[in-house]
Amino acid sequence: MAVIEILGRDERTERQFRLGHLLTVALIVVGLLYGLNLRDGAIFATQPYNNVRAGISMDYPVAWLLDTDGDYVVRLRDMRRIGYKTTIQITLAPAGGSASNRNILDVVNISRPLRLNSYDVQAIEPYTMPDGTAATRMTYTFVDDEPNKFLQTVPVVVIGWDVLVRRGEQALIVTFRSDANTFDADLVFFERLLSSLEF
Amino acid sequence: MLYRWIMLLALAVGLTLDARAQQADELFDLARIQRATVFVMQTRTVGNNAIITCVGSGTLVSRDGLILTNAHNTVPNPDCPGDQLVIALTIRPGEPPITTYYAEVAQANEGLDLAILRITQDLSGRIIEPDTLSLPFVDVADSGQIDLDDTIAVIGYPGLGDEDAITVISGTVTGFVSEPSGGDRSWIKTDATIPGTMSGGGVYNLEGQLVAVPTTVPIIPSAADVTCPIIQDTNNDGLINRADSCVPLGAFINALRPARFIRPLLRGASLGLQVEKISQRAATTAASGSPEFSNLFFSPSITNGMPTTAAANLPTGTTSLYLFFDYRNMTPNTIYELRVTINDRPSRTFSLAPVRWSGGRDGLWYIGSSGQVWPNGIYEFTLFLDGIASGTARINIGAQPGEPPPSFSNISFGILDERSGSLFGLNNVLPAGAVANARFIHRNMVDGTPWTACWYYQNAPLACEENVWSPDGSDTRALSITNEEPGLPLEPGPYRLALFINNRLSTLSEFTIAGAQEGAFPLVFDNTRFVSTTRPAEVPTASAASTFSSGRMELYSTFDWELLEPGTLWTMRWLVDGTRFFEETVPWSNSRTGQGFITRLSSASGSLPDGRYTMEIIVNNVVLAEAEAAIGVGQLPIDPFAVTEGVQLNGWVIDADTGEGLAGVSVIFISDEFFVSSFVWNNDQVHVIATSDSNGYFQLDRLLEFDTRYSVLINARGYLPIASDVVRVNAETDNPLEIIIPLTRG
């Protein structure tokens, strides 16, 4: 049979334990913060894009595929995403002085249903760019279908935003499209890009 | 010892043949060809229903949706009065095709019965941008490399039924058919038995290249039968019965239209080029009466498209034979057919299944072949017009040789040089001078034999002179014709000289008089040039130009003409970078003499592509004028996707733990100039991107070229990335190549 004698508390040892605990917790918190920072840095890392001819510069996410060969100034796609590739696209359209934003979007809306499946405009409303510039935002949906009919692909419902800003005799349309299931999560990429956009 | 050597030799030969067969198998990508073969339906909307009016097979010949097929079942005509073209694809081999797209006619030649369709919409009516399509397609080969006894494969759809999936029929080349519209190889003949619905499909060589199009035109029977089944309630009376229209399928095909006729149409369609003769007055091309054939006779050979001599018997070993005849009131919708019997037994080799008429309205035609032995026998050639017999001629080949008969042959035309006694000029086209001369060869003519020379102008007799032969020691004899009115030149237009011996036709030939006389040559077209202006009204007076900047929307050309009789057949031909993309032969419909004939070249896709453009003007196969202009760098841009040699890569992306297919994963092939480490996510660095479907299956839209290094990157969020810089394929690689890519969660 063992006898345990409880003596008075050793204040020094207790302080050391407490300090050790605090340091451990602090280290974990710092580690977590550092990890989160690294993660954010990796996910939201950007690289610059400049187009002198179009007068556009911005920072876009690293490892998004940059494409300038279409009828747009630039198109960026997140090729690492599984499923519909989240897309940001910038288009310049000539716009007469007397043309309203609605006129420009009407023209867009007339031709889009011929190219996008089940195209449906949800809303057209005022929008303020991060730098305070007044703009118009159109929200729409469509069903993305694989053009290669030899593949069996389930169509994806896509939500799109067109943010239209006027620049003299031009209209700048910044388009954001994402799978409806991941739209809110992906929106941060678009907002960060808009924040860095100069035109 | 000898036995051993024979065995070794046999083994060596066997191995060589086996190696060749294996090589051919590797080159013949049947899966790709099957996927590129489509079913074409012409439909007509009645009420809310689409009625199938005509059907046929077709073949994708470009990744952006150009389809090669026949014109008779796609271009609207009285027998195929549809207003829409529906394209069905074979998604999985062995299954019937699935309707997928709408298409429109991009280019067509109704006489040659060829058409290039362009996919325009999906079935929901959505417009399809050609750039977004990445369809499997086949390479159109040089049909001139096809020879007798070559093995071919015919691929198409044999019928309308549920079990009628794509069919491959093997056969050999048994001969060639000559016609004025295409020369010696206007048709390729085969021993393969090809159902009528495979018309418009593809004929392939052992390398898997398309060398011809099986072609026949169904003759709609008076009552529906197996060649024209009734499948729908076309009159909306709620019943499917004999009151409904049938879908013409046609009988069996034995003629293949060679690939060389396809190239101009394909080039014009792929570039979207359109030629418009602004100054051409509307010509009366409609037939004024029923089509008919007359004056059938045989010739053992041809010179400049004309018979050398008429023959009733030919010796054993004859290797060429042509049936000549006059035609009247023909249109591209007229269906003609030749049935040949040898000693009263039908001959598939020398017969021609019903096909479209590829000549003009009136004129002289021939059909025959050379370069193959015609077996001995009594041949009977019967011509059919729209299924009705319209003329018969017989010839005996291998008859007992007797006394050689007197004959005339090889008529040539020109302007006689009095001093040398020679004929000068272009033979088939003479200037409008006071006299036209002819010379012909005579054989076995006996003193005192009656013979006649008859001149015709615009198919009407002009002058006939009856003579009695008197030898002059020469092998040739000359004739001439002058205007009845002394001092006046001969009227411009088409002429014919026919020579008879004892009132039997011995030979004939035709020529055209056009243009002012410049020595022995005609000056028909002058000031042929491209002009700098873009306004049609300014074209006749605009200055000539030969170089233009890129991005030009239209290009105008002009020429003056002199003494060209209305009704004379003339041809306008356009080439870009030496490749023909437009050719049209029509009767001249303007005045005899005039200035400023304007032609406009434009592109359906907007600006004209950079390139070197040539316009040629032709009469009687003689190029009488041409002009050339360069746009931009003077060379067509290279289409990196227009490659059919390489490996088709398909595969599955799967989860390494579960083995299930991963949908929506991108497989990126980086072009050979870059590595994964130097890939900065720029589309210009990408060779091709494929995305996996709901089963994890993916297909590359672009072939991997042989002996080229590619880098591959598969980077899917939630999985460890896969990268490689050493992907390389060669001619020995399995084709199509199928791979499995497992991704590990990370």
pLDDT category of residue A1 using cuts at 50, 70 and 90: low
Q: State the pLDDT at residue B287.
A: 52
Query: Residue B687 belongs to what H/E stretch?
Result: strand B686-691
**Higher-scoring residue by pLDDT: B679, A9:** B679
Q: What's the average model confidence in pLDDT over B738-744?
A: 91
Q: Lowest-pLDDT range, B21-35, B143-157, B546-560, B731-745?
A: B21-35
Q: State the pLDDT at residue B124.
A: 81
Query: Do the Cβ atoms of A154 and B694 come within 8 Å?
Result: yes
Q: State the pLDDT at residue B166.
A: 87
Q: State the pLDDT at residue B439.
A: 92
Q: Which residues of B touch A79 (CB under 8 A)?
A: 666, 668, 681, 689, 715
Q: What's the average model confidence in pLDDT over B76-105?
A: 88
Minimal Cβ distance to A115: which of B91, B127, B662: B127
Chain mean position to CA B272: 18
What is the SS3 assignment for B130?
helix
Q: State the pLDDT at residue A127.
A: 93
B568-600 per-position pLDDT tens digit? 889 999 999 888 899 888 889 899 999 999 999
Minimal Cβ distance to A83: which of B135, B664, B686: B664
Residue B116 clears pLDDT 60, i.e. is over it: yes
Distance between CA atoms of B197 and B632, rounded to whole angstroms? 44
Query: Do the Cβ atoms of A84 and B698 come within 8 Å?
Result: no
Residue B272 clears pLDDT 70, i.e. is over it: yes
Task: Give the chain A residue whose CA is nearest to the CA of B125.
Answer: A114
pLDDT category of residue B1 using cuts at 50, 70 and 90: very low
A156-169 per-position pLDDT tens digit? 999 999 999 988 88
Task: Give the chain B residue whose CA is nearest to the CA of A66.
Answer: B682
B345-358 per-position pLDDT tens digit? 999 889 998 999 98
Q: What's the average model confidence in pLDDT over B412-419?
A: 84
Query: Do the Cβ atoms of A114 and B127 come within 8 Å?
Result: yes
Distance between CA atoms of B465 and A92, rounded to whole angstroms? 79
Q: State the pLDDT at residue B241.
A: 81
A49–B contact, CB cutoff 8 A: no
A65–B contact, CB cutoff 8 A: yes
Count Cβ–Cβ pairs < 8 Å, chain A vs chain B.
Answer: 83
Could you tell me which of A141, A131, A190 has the C-alpha nearest to residue A163?
Answer: A190
Minimal Cβ distance to B697: which of A63, A113, A151: A151
Q: Lowest-pLDDT range, A184-198, B41-55, B682-696?
A: B41-55
Residue B114 clears pLDDT 70, i.e. is over it: yes
Q: Burial, B410: exposed, middle or buried (Cβ in 10 Å; 0-12, 13-18, 19+)?
A: middle
Q: Which residues of B touch A65 (CB under 8 A)?
A: 681-683, 686
Residue B11 clears pLDDT 50, i.e. is over it: no
ipTM: 0.76
Q: Which of B98, B691, B701 to mutate to test the interface with A (most CBs of A within 10 A)?
A: B691
Tokens linked to B317: 């070993």
Minimal Cβ distance to B681: which of A65, A148, A152: A65
Q: State the pLDDT at residue B161.
A: 65
Residues 6+ apart with CB under 8 A from B103: B40, B65, B67, B85, B86, B87, B117, B118, B119, B120
Query: Average model confidence (pLDDT) for chain A?
Result: 87
Residue B156 clears pLDDT 60, i.e. is over it: yes
Tokens linked to B618: 């032709």
Strands (E), B182-291: 183-194, 202-204, 210-214, 253-258, 273-277
Q: What percent of chain B has pLDDT over 90?
A: 47
What is the SS3 assignment for A37?
helix
What's at A166, amino acid-wise?
R
Query: Do the Cβ atoms of A154 and B125 come within 8 Å?
Result: no
The domains located in chain B, with CATH, are: 30-231+247-271 (2.40.10.120), 292-397 (2.60.40.10), 407-518 (2.60.40.2550), 524-631 (2.60.40), 649-743 (2.60.40.1120)
B47-58 per-position pLDDT tens digit? 777 888 999 999
Query: Do the Cβ atoms of B663 and A83 come within 8 Å?
Result: yes
B464–A contact, CB cutoff 8 A: no
DSSP A112: G
Distance between CA atoms of B657 and B664, rounded to whole angstroms? 18
B545-555 per-position pLDDT tens digit? 999 998 899 99
Distance between CA atoms of A79 and B213, rounded to whole angstroms? 42
Distance between CA atoms of B641 and B66, rounded to whole angstroms? 14
Contact of B743 with B653, CB cutoff 8 Å:
yes
Residue B3 clears pLDDT 60, i.e. is over it: no
Query: Do the Cβ atoms of B693 and A146 come within 8 Å?
Result: yes
Distance between CA atoms of A171 and A101, rounded to whole angstroms? 8
B309-359 per-position pLDDT tens digit? 999 889 998 999 999 999 999 988 899 999 999 999 999 889 998 999 988
Minimal Cβ distance to A66: which of B91, B683, B691: B683
- The edge-to-edge listing of strands for the beta sheet with B709-714 is B686-691, B666-670, B709-714, B722-728
Q: State the pLDDT at residue B340.
A: 95
Task: Give the chain B residue whose CA is nearest to the CA of A113.
Answer: B126
pLDDT category of residue B743 using cuts at 50, 70 and 90: very high
B452-485 per-position pLDDT tens digit? 999 999 888 998 999 999 988 888 999 999 887 8
Q: Which residues of A touch B132 (CB under 8 A)?
A: 147
A152–B contact, CB cutoff 8 A: yes
Domain ranges of chain A: 10-43, 46-196
Query: Do the Cβ atoms of A150 and B666 come within 8 Å?
Result: no
Residue B707 clears pLDDT 70, i.e. is over it: yes
Which of A125-129, B7-11, B236-240 ranks highest by mean pLDDT? Answer: A125-129
Q: State the pLDDT at residue B229.
A: 84
Asked if the A46-196 domain carries CATH number 3.40.1000.10, the reply is: yes
Q: What percent of chain B has pLDDT over 70?
A: 93
B134–A contact, CB cutoff 8 A: yes
Q: State the pLDDT at residue B644.
A: 58
Q: What is B419-449 written as a DSSP string? A: TT--EES-SSEE-S-SEEEEEEEEES--TT-
Query: Average model confidence (pLDDT) for chain B?
Result: 87
The 10 Å Cβ neighbour count of residue B671 is 16
pLDDT category of residue B719 using cuts at 50, 70 and 90: very high
**Higher-scoring residue by pLDDT: A57, B160:** A57
Q: State the pLDDT at residue B74.
A: 95
A68–B contact, CB cutoff 8 A: yes
Strands (E), B319-376: 321-328, 335-342, 345-346, 352-356, 363-369
Place of tokens 């919409």: B121
The 10 Å Cβ neighbour count of residue B284 is 11
